[in-house]
Amino acid sequence: MTDNGTQIVSWQSCMVEAIVQQTPSIKSFFLRLSRPFAHIAGQHVDVRLTAPDGYSAMRSYSIASSAASSPIIELAIERLPDGEVSAYFHDIAIVGDEIELRGPLGGHFLWPEPAVDAVLLIGAGSGLVPLMAMIRHRSTQDPAVPTALLLSARTAEDVLFSEELHSVEINDAAFVLALAITREDPIRASDFGRRIDSAMVKEVLARLHRKPTQIFVCGSNDFVNIATEGALRAGLDPSIIKTERYGG
């Protein structure tokens, strides 16, 4: 704790408990913390890898787990071209390995507390990860909050957490799921076969039956720009839009 009362988040060791292949390019890593913490849906951790010669590399990854105090957190990591940290996780990391992380971090891109009014989530690829933490938190803590997820993916195979999302949609009348499939025809009539645009955002809002008071957009820089423009053109207030941008 600093003199002004700010909590210092220090590095800790954690162990890889399990690894799950989620899509062709994304794996989930379940990490057992040496010092468990509670986080808010939308927060992230920094991961640091250090080579024997002292060289280190650090990247930030959003937490996919529901916001609860647990000794195990889930990170869903996409393999990126020339990404040295993501390449380590995908090609080298095995169950039992130890890595360093610090967190939870982030105070802007957070599920609203208390959550009362409608929420719109827009994501692409691994940009779903913090949004998934919000969906999981909502399912247990705020199930009455109307929520829509508009998710962009190249193909149906590339939809992260696909089975879980469809299960939530089937069992939760207050949750709307719409997929924007960009490189093949969508399987479901309720999904879209193009990139996200304002007309798509308007249609998803119509399914939500009310205007949201919070909008969260997460993905690459280009995606966030396009999705945010679509939301604005759909008539949504820029003051309620929060964005999280990934490299690439």
Please check whether residue 95 is in contact with residue 17, taking contact to mean a CB–CB distance below 8 angstroms: yes
For the stretch 110-169, pLDDT in tens is: 998 888 899 999 999 999 999 999 999 999 888 999 999 999 999 999 999 999 999 999
pLDDT at 247: 64
For the stretch 159-187, pLDDT in tens is: 999 999 999 999 999 999 999 999 999 99
Instruction: Report which of 101, 89, 110, 120 is spatially closest to residue 18, judged by C-alpha positions.
Output: 89
pLDDT at 52: 87
CA angle at residue 119 from 118 to 124, to 5 degrees?
155
Amino acid at 91: D
CATH superfamily of 11-105: Translation factors (2.40.30.10)
Q: What whole-number distance in Å separates Cα of residue 246 and Cα of residue 108?
A: 15
Task: Tell me the backbone φ, ψ of residue 107, rounded to 5 degrees.
Answer: -130, 15
| Per-residue pLDDT at 228 exceeds 80 | yes
Tokens of 198: 């304002």
Annotation: CATH topology of 119-245: Rossmann fold (3.40.50)
Q: List, in order, residues 6 or more apart from 161 with CB less than 8 Å away.
A: 22, 64, 76, 128, 132
Tokens of 162: 């696909």
pLDDT at 81: 86
Tokens of 122: 């827009």
pTM of the model: 0.94
Domain ranges of the chain: 11-105, 119-245
Please check whether residue 26 is in contact with residue 128, taking contact to mean a CB–CB distance below 8 angstroms: no
- The CA dihedral of 7, 9, 10, 15, to the nearest 10 degrees, is 140
Tokens of 107: 């105070």
Q: How does 133-172 read in b/e, with b if 16+ C-beta sit within 10 Å?
A: bbbbbbbebbeebbbbbbbbbbeeebbbbbeebeebeeeb
Question: What integer best gives the mean pLDDT of the chain?
Answer: 93
For the stretch 43-78, pLDDT in tens is: 999 999 998 888 999 999 999 998 876 799 999 999
pLDDT at 5: 43
For the stretch 6-33, pLDDT in tens is: 457 899 999 999 999 999 999 999 999 9
Please check whether residue 176 is in contact with residue 156, taking contact to mean a CB–CB distance below 8 angstroms: no
